[in-house]
Structure 1
Amino acid sequence: MADGVEELSGGDAVPEDADGVVLCKGQQDVGLPLSPNSFRQILRVKTTVPKGRSASLGDVFLRVYGENSTLPKSYRLRDAKGMLSDAALDRAKPTVVYAHGYVELSSDESVMAVVRAYQGRGDFNIVVVDWANLGFGNYLAVALDLKPIGIETGKALSMLLKEGLSPKGLHLVGHSMGAHLLGFTARSLADRGHPVPRLTGLDPAYPGFYPAILASPMSVHDADFVDVIHTDGGGYGAPSRAGHADFWPNEGRAKQPGCISATIPLTYEDFCSHWRSWAFWAESVAGGQFLSRRCEDYDTFLRGQCGEEPSALMGIDASSNLRGNFYLRTAARAPFALGERGAE
């Protein structure tokens, strides 16, 4: 099971009547909202630096994944030029740069689900910004480190673009704090003459960024097209519009369908809605059709009062011409995309 994705039935068989007709299960069985991984994120917060890493900009990595590789080639930011001779990097292909969130590792499912989805497509260079060495410990301190990490990442990518990597297809995708980190990266690239075509935020981190107390959040000024998927708005994720096109699946708030309704704060289960953003993104990369409609708000959408608006795709195939707030429904478990039904 992927991180943050909870089965509604807890893995039990779906009940049937004597004729084999599936019966609707009214609610989940009562039980403690805990699992063997429940306190993983809390333990990571109490860890200053992941084992084997150092808390310095020099230990931030760009990890390059080939189409069939399970282990990436890794390059420190200062050594990024070596990527140009890497067989996994095709200068003619568009490049996706993905940044994970706070207290996450590049080996977590939140990263690998996205990597596998892009590998399945085979039409992108896949680069992961591994900043876990500066992403553990005190939340405030981590937030304050985002700007220098973003600037140095921008410098490294700028060098690659100058040496022939295609700037036209550059797409920055960040989850949670990673979205704000890539906002700084996009500004750094623009300052060096490389405006970013697209920046995607997957439930950008909320505390300390809205308003901008700790650091400047990602914004519409960071790229030609900025799209945002909200899944825990007002909780761990941004509570309001942050892009040119903002998508609000299931109102964009907790609890997302299929997530446990009662959870202990900061536990693995409590992040279920926040993590749905990357699960939806990975599914869209793999071909899932998340159709939405622009609407005034979710209630108006549910009342069917936005039917005159054309349906619009959420995810990798979102049109760069989209502007406004878009609403949709999803399934409670993977595959989440409902196609046209999700926009009804």
Structure 2
Amino acid sequence: MDVFLKIFFIAIVSLSCDGQREPSLPLSTDSFRQILRTKVPVPVGRSISFSDIIIRHYSTNTTKPRAYRIRDVKRLLAEPTFDPQRPTVLYAHGFVELYTDESVRTVTRAYLKKGGYNILLLDWSNLAFGHYVVSAMDVEAVGNETGRAVSRLVKGGLSLGGLHLVGHSLGAHVLGATARYLAARELVVPRLTGLDPAYPGFYPALLGRPLSAEDAAFVDVVHTDAGGFGAPASTGRADFWPNEGKAKQPGCLSATVPLTYEDFCSHWRSWRYWAESLTGGELLARRCDDYDSFVRGQCREAPLVQMGVKANHELSGNFYLRTAAKSPFSLGERGAE
């Protein structure tokens, strides 16, 4: 039986065991989108080739970014709206995602609203579709190819000191490889952020090398589905654990069909929190030994720190906070009590 049908059958049985009421499935028209994408080896119009990785530049809106093949990325430097001396963020999406998906649109829209950045997207969807194992095993090579592209930009005048790499899920590990490639050439990335770095195949490192605290000058990680789709333990220099960093995050359904759109809610909270930090959200946290100590109030003497884009680059350790169940997620100081 096809895995799609197996999951659907299990869901029907598990959620309709009470014969006194009609079964109610937490499903939508997008529910099986991620599963179906694993059946497609490559998105329409793309090719399974490293040369078909695309760097997209967002300068005015999130629907029509300028696109550059990764090996022709130096042409970006001639674009009038691109300022090499301005801070630059390079965002990398996760497994089976497209640049038109909500995750990318939410993050890029938040950066546009904040202003002051060159906003680039690493669109590697041509190698992030199909079987997860294959995509995971390509992570290092994609990261190296991206490192070469960034190196060309730096040699062409891009300010390395203003570079910030931000990756979600598998994209976090891709940019970890990018940072390592650059570091090996004495180009140390100032900041690398992992948004719930992908767990399967990376902890332990069976399919690829995971993002780590040594990859950049400052590595911060936001955990929202630890031990599920996300990394199970601390992996950065500063690790943030909103709501213990695990599923189910507040506002996510307590019962979901495995691998459906709804099942990724906690994993995707990481980029939602990140976007809110860009648009003014005060996601305040405190350093603590563990979440239990945090909720018992045993760390209230620790100073308040920011989770998100405003995180201090001198931070180290594990930081905890609580959030609201829906946007705006920030609870301010209440979230760190």
**TM norm structure 1:** 0.90
Whether 2:317 is the aligned partner of 1:324: answer: yes
Whether 2:185 is the aligned partner of 1:192: answer: yes
Whether 2:48 is the aligned partner of 1:55: answer: yes
Picking from 259, 272, 275, the partner of 2:265 is 272
d(CA) in 1 for partners of 2:187, 2:106:
29
Taking only the aligned residue pairs, the percentage that are identical comes to 63
Q: Which residues of 2 match residues 1-16 of structure 1 at below 5 A?
A: none
Whether 2:221 is the aligned partner of 1:228: answer: yes
* Contact 1:229 1:246 (C-alpha < 8 Å) held by counterparts: yes
d(CA) in 1 for partners of 2:58, 2:206:
35
Give the paired residue count. Answer: 315
Q: Considering only aligned residues, what root-mean-square deviation do their CA atoms show, in Å?
A: 0.9
What is the match of residue 333 of structure 1?
Answer: 326
* Contact 2:86 2:162 (C-alpha < 8 Å) held by counterparts: yes
Task: Give the secondary structure class of the aligned counterpart of 1:289.
Answer: coil
Shift of 1:70: 3.2
Q: Which residues of 2 match residues 242-257 of structure 1 at below 5 A?
A: 242-257=235-250
What is the match of residue 160 of structure 1?
Answer: 153
d(CA) in 2 for partners of 1:335, 1:46:
35
Whether 2:44 is the aligned partner of 1:44: answer: no
d(CA) in 1 for partners of 2:177, 2:95:
16
Letter in 1 for 2:304: S
* Contact 1:67 1:120 (C-alpha < 8 Å) held by counterparts: no
d(CA) in 2 for partners of 1:60, 1:343:
41
Shift of 1:69: 5.8
**TM norm structure 2:** 0.92
Picking from 131, 137, 161, the partner of 1:138 is 131
Residue range with higher mean Cα deviation, 30-39 or 140-149? 30-39
Residue range with higher mean Cα deviation, 251-260 or 66-75? 66-75
Letter in 2 for 1:155: R
* Contact 2:192 2:219 (C-alpha < 8 Å) held by counterparts: yes
Whether 2:122 is the aligned partner of 1:129: answer: yes
Picking from 133, 142, 145, the partner of 1:149 is 142
* Contact 1:61 1:76 (C-alpha < 8 Å) held by counterparts: yes
Task: Give the secondary structure class of the aligned counterpart of 1:220.
Answer: coil
Letter in 2 for 1:260: L
Whether 2:285 is the aligned partner of 1:287: answer: no
Whether 2:208 is the aligned partner of 1:215: answer: yes
Letter in 2 for 1:195: V
Q: Deviations over 1:29-62 (max 9, x none)?
A: x932111100000000111101111010010000
Task: Give the secondary structure class of the aligned counterpart of 2:214.
Answer: helix
* Contact 1:62 1:77 (C-alpha < 8 Å) held by counterparts: yes
Q: Deviations over 1:241-280 (max 9, x none)?
A: 0100000000000000000000011000000000000000
What is the match of residue 4 of structure 1?
Answer: none
Letter in 2 for 1:281: W
d(CA) in 2 for partners of 1:72, 1:212:
35
What is the match of residue 8 of structure 1?
Answer: none
Task: Give the secondary structure class of the aligned counterpart of 1:228.
Answer: strand
Q: Which residues of 2 match residues 64-213 of structure 1 at below 5 A?
A: 64-68=57-61, 70-213=63-206
* Contact 1:67 1:88 (C-alpha < 8 Å) held by counterparts: no
What is the match of residue 27 of structure 1?
Answer: none
d(CA) in 2 for partners of 1:306, 1:287:
25
d(CA) in 2 for partners of 1:182, 1:70:
24
* Contact 1:175 1:201 (C-alpha < 8 Å) held by counterparts: yes
Task: Give the secondary structure class of the aligned counterpart of 2:160.
Answer: coil
In structure 1, the gaps of 5 or more residues are 1-29
d(CA) in 2 for partners of 1:69, 1:60:
19
Letter in 2 for 1:32: L
Shift of 1:216: 0.3
Q: Which residues of 2 match residues 284-323 of structure 1 at below 5 A?
A: 284-323=277-316
Greater RCO structure (CA 8 Å; 6+ sep): 1
d(CA) in 1 for partners of 2:252, 2:307:
21
Shift of 1:111: 0.6
What is the match of residue 26 of structure 1?
Answer: none
Shift of 1:68: 4.3
Letter in 2 for 1:161: V
What is the match of residue 262 of structure 1?
Answer: 255
Task: Give the secondary structure class of the aligned counterpart of 2:162.
Answer: coil
Task: Give the secondary structure class of the aligned counterpart of 2:285.
Answer: strand
d(CA) in 1 for partners of 2:61, 2:31:
32
* Contact 1:65 1:73 (C-alpha < 8 Å) held by counterparts: yes
Letter in 1 for 2:91: Y
d(CA) in 1 for partners of 2:333, 2:207:
40
